[in-house]
Structure 1
């Protein structure tokens, strides 16, 4: 499902490094939100990001595709700096057209589904490849049918968003992100806007993507997903990475007091 780049840096066990964030800082006015975040994610890894509200987790997620610029540090996706280039030791912000091309490596699924209300599920999924990649309409629609089947909605291809449940709309949004053939999927609280009975159908799709080898960073408080699909659980609090462990160790043997306090509140 991923499109491996030739010159990607290598990580553990020969897997390529998809995300490399080093010393990432971000402020909004006088509010210092990110205070030096370091995170490396290898190809095929699924990382669940937890943290208190306002701790910086969603802001950090948005820096990975330059929806938010960074003040200092570096963000590289598949070895390429995102949003800027470096020449002779100087950093220059890229033009928006170049940044848009870079963003094609990442797909993002938001809390709200943001589907086009006047398009069917099939056309919502096909729109990106047609308009961005200039894929032929027939081919894009054929590929979209396959993706809707992947997320369990092959029978809803002709339905409009208003005819779909919230869980179904979010699954269409996931299929739409996959249609761009990203090397990385970012999820920002993908189930927070859903009724409890709809959460499971979205999480099931995400587990299936993990089995397909998709690299994912997921901001969510779904503990079931952490245990079923995450390779690592990361706690971001007060703008820094506090804890980064495999799920069983994260929940059973947290190293830091801030992690223990956070888990006491949410479990």
Structure 2
């Protein structure tokens, strides 16, 4: 059976290991991630994460058997720099994905040394806390071209029939200079546009996403779009299938509107 794809707003830093500090702030996001596992069930044999925290000139896939950890955040408590998420890699899947991308005209390489960044391990911990599910990461291409990433998703679509859960990990709003009350208007306006765009018929939906810079307050929501581009890959891999909002709140960090989506 064909698996859905997801675009996940992954939250901030190592939040699953900071519940004493954050309290119930992440309850809704955590519940939506746990629901992802229930929805996919036992059909999943591996996860392919398109991470907003890894950019390379051309597409790259993590291909090590036991990826390490990348603590790509600052100013958090000391214990969050000791976090371990010991999920195995799957070199064969990395090779398969690289071949699909290369055949489609998007040359892709393998990086056996790449570890898990927090866009991967913080998001996956609520889904697979036992860290037994094999995980491969896909980088963003540094040009952040929307069409190129939609095409990458199209190329990777066959993996959905092979037990691979494709997750684009980013944030529907990502302006760290206005990550609070000053970002409320931009996050709400952009999220409203995103909800409407993803409800369009497939061809119109793709066109809308390609023109995302025309959305209300687009650059205020994404001064740089690396946290939005994983959405393009998730969309491309399920381009003709319906979208559903699977996580939404309007008081993230007290004032921000953020969402996650499932395709298929």
User: Do both share a fold (TM > 0.5)?
Assistant: no
| Greater strand fraction, Structure 1 or Structure 2 | 1
| Greater helix fraction, Structure 1 or Structure 2 | 2
What TM-score comes out, normalization by structure 1 length?
A: 0.33
Looking at both structures, which has the greater relative contact order when contacts are Cα pairs under 8 Å and sequence separation is at least 6?
2
What TM-score comes out, normalization by structure 2 length?
A: 0.33
